[in-house]
Amino acid sequence: MPVALNYPGVYIEEVSSGVRTITGVATSICAFVGYANKGPTDRAVLVLSWSDFVRQFGGLDRASQLSYAVAQFFANGGAQAYIVRLVTIGSDTAADNAKAASVDIGGGIMVSAGSPGEWGNKYAVSTKLRADADPADKRFQLSVLDMTDSTTGVVAESFENLSVSPDSPRYAPNVLRDESSLVSMVVPGTATAPPPDATATKLANGANGKKLTPNDAAFEQALNPSSGSGGIYLLDRIDLFNLLCVPGESNPAVLGPLQAFCRQRRAFLIADCAQDATLTSVQSLNGLTGADSINAAIYFPWVKAPDPLQENRIGEFPPCGFVAGLYARTDSTRGVWKAPAGVDASLTGALGVKIPLTNDENGVLNPKAVNCIRNLPVYGTILWGARTLQGNDERGSEWKYVPVRRMALFMEETLFRALKWVVFEPNDEPLWAQIRLNVGAFLRDLFRQGAFQGKTPQEAYFVKCDNETTTQSDINRGIVNILVGFAPLKPAEFVVVKIQQIAGQIQI
């Protein structure tokens, strides 16, 4: 009701239309998990470009298949990636543990690199006491110096008016925690004076520790989603990712739980075959074809590409980085409903494959849900398969194709987020009508973009939310049931062309 109707006149009341626009979620945010020689180890970090990765994780490293995969992801069209850095910490063998470089700058005040690794040994800190500082709260300046190409150092970060008093708003450990991307500080409780002036005190004793490699026991332990801390568990703390890549990891005993983890998060696993996989061995997918395999796809063989760290000599790389980038490129140019395969699905930066495949060999692998990477004349290195790991012909799964499954995941995630407003609304026909209106508008927009089969919206999708889907018993228990159906587009995997001669002038 508007304001109280207490005088003759015209009253204006704005009435809500009930329209709540549903916007589709991102479809190609990729999470990468693996070893890097630099970067945070306690959280998944969002990077938006290759240069962003270089700043935070140190760029290419021969020991890090992760670094190459991320570079290939961005080169092929990727735009957003989360990085989970794996290092060894807590090993009984001290030399195996990654350690942050550190230095005592006076009075037990320790400055440490922001993350473990030898990278911290390339930095130094300088301190200078403010001449006009309050004697009761002496302030000082701290600068972080990059000593890579200079004996005197180049200032990378600088912080003014720092204090060692916990009561100060410029308490040094808090300021560095919030503002520095390179160092942190610990001030002992006994410290009452700031550090003395120093021009360049180098950090030391930083160590990379044991370099974790895919299929290694320590590497795989960090991948366990049920480990409770670190590793893959860090992805539980981020809002959304759609793709998961663990470059080089091919152990079915590890990939199986990762499939389940992806299914719980409505994400999709891009799995690598083993580097030494053959036409015969890659067909053994035991442990990868269970109920959760609808959220995963495997690609064969490894890809050949120039290695910038080896004078651009040809190296062999796991395909997941290339493939994830191609997924992102296809999503942005055509839509998540388009199969990420075909003559347009060329891999940027690839020069071929480890094992060139013939049509007959491809014909052996494709029915068994192994997606082949082919090197074809004119088109270059391309993806020539779009099946999930449940896409074996013998199963006849409704989730046989990658674009069909990813389309469903896109719709599920979008509606999961867009319908939160429904919670605690009165559960009756007015609410059901609003749900039908809003979900229907979202699906109609997808239909107009060509995301579904069918010539009309009625053939392409339906939304049902009424007293048939939601009974009085459901209402009494606080439940509203929404049924959404769609007719997915399936790729034209086999194109049959029939050719017939014209009979000419023969009379019948």
pLDDT digits (tens, 9 = 90+) for 196-250: 999 899 999 999 988 888 988 888 877 766 555 578 889 999 999 999 999 999 9
Distance CA 166, CA 170 (A): 9
What is the separation of C-alpha 165 from the centre of its chain, rounded to a whole number of angstroms?
Answer: 41
Question: Amino acid identity, residue 334?
Answer: R
Q: What is the three-class DSSP state of 171?
A: strand
The span from the CA of 219 to the CA of 216, in Å, is 5
pLDDT tens-place string over residues 162-207: 999 898 899 999 999 999 999 999 999 877 788 999 989 999 999 9
**Residue 17 pLDDT:** 81
Weakest mean pLDDT among 127-136, 170-179, 485-494: 127-136
DSSP state of 124: E
Residue type, 29: I
Please tell me the CATH code under which domain 30-88+211-403 is placed: 3.40.50.11780
C-alpha count within 13 angstroms, C-beta hemisphere, residue 477? 7
> How far from chain centre, in Å, is Cα 410?
15
Which tens digit of pLDDT belongs to each residue from 325-370? 999 999 999 999 999 999 999 999 999 999 999 999 999 999 999 9
Q: What are the pLDDT digits (tens) for 380-409?
A: 999 999 999 999 999 989 999 999 999 999
Of residues 246 and 90, the one with the higher pLDDT is 246
Report the chain's terminal Cα–Cα distance, integer Å.
82
- The DSSP H or E segment spanning 463 is strand 461-464
C-alpha span between 200 and 151 (Å, rounded): 9
Average pLDDT over the chain, rounded to an integer: 91
What is the rounded average pLDDT of the residues 443-468?
Answer: 95
Q: Is 195 exposed, middle or buried (0-12, 13-18, 19+ CB in 10 A)?
A: buried
Can you tell me the distance from the alpha carbon of 233 to that of 227, in angstroms, rounded to the nearest whole number? 7
Tens digits of residue pLDDT in 266-318: 999 999 999 999 999 998 887 788 899 999 999 999 999 999 999 999 999 99
- C-alpha 348/C-alpha 356 separation (Å) is 18
Domain ranges of the chain: 30-88+211-403, 99-202, 427-508
* Fold matches, 30-88+211-403 and 99-202: no
The answer to whether residues 288 and 300 touch, using CB atoms and an 8 Å cutoff, is: no
Measure Cα distances from 147 to 110, 118, 403 in Å.
19, 13, 49
The fold of 99-202 is: Immunoglobulin-like (2.60.40)
Question: What would the two tokens of residue 446 be?
Answer: 């997808």
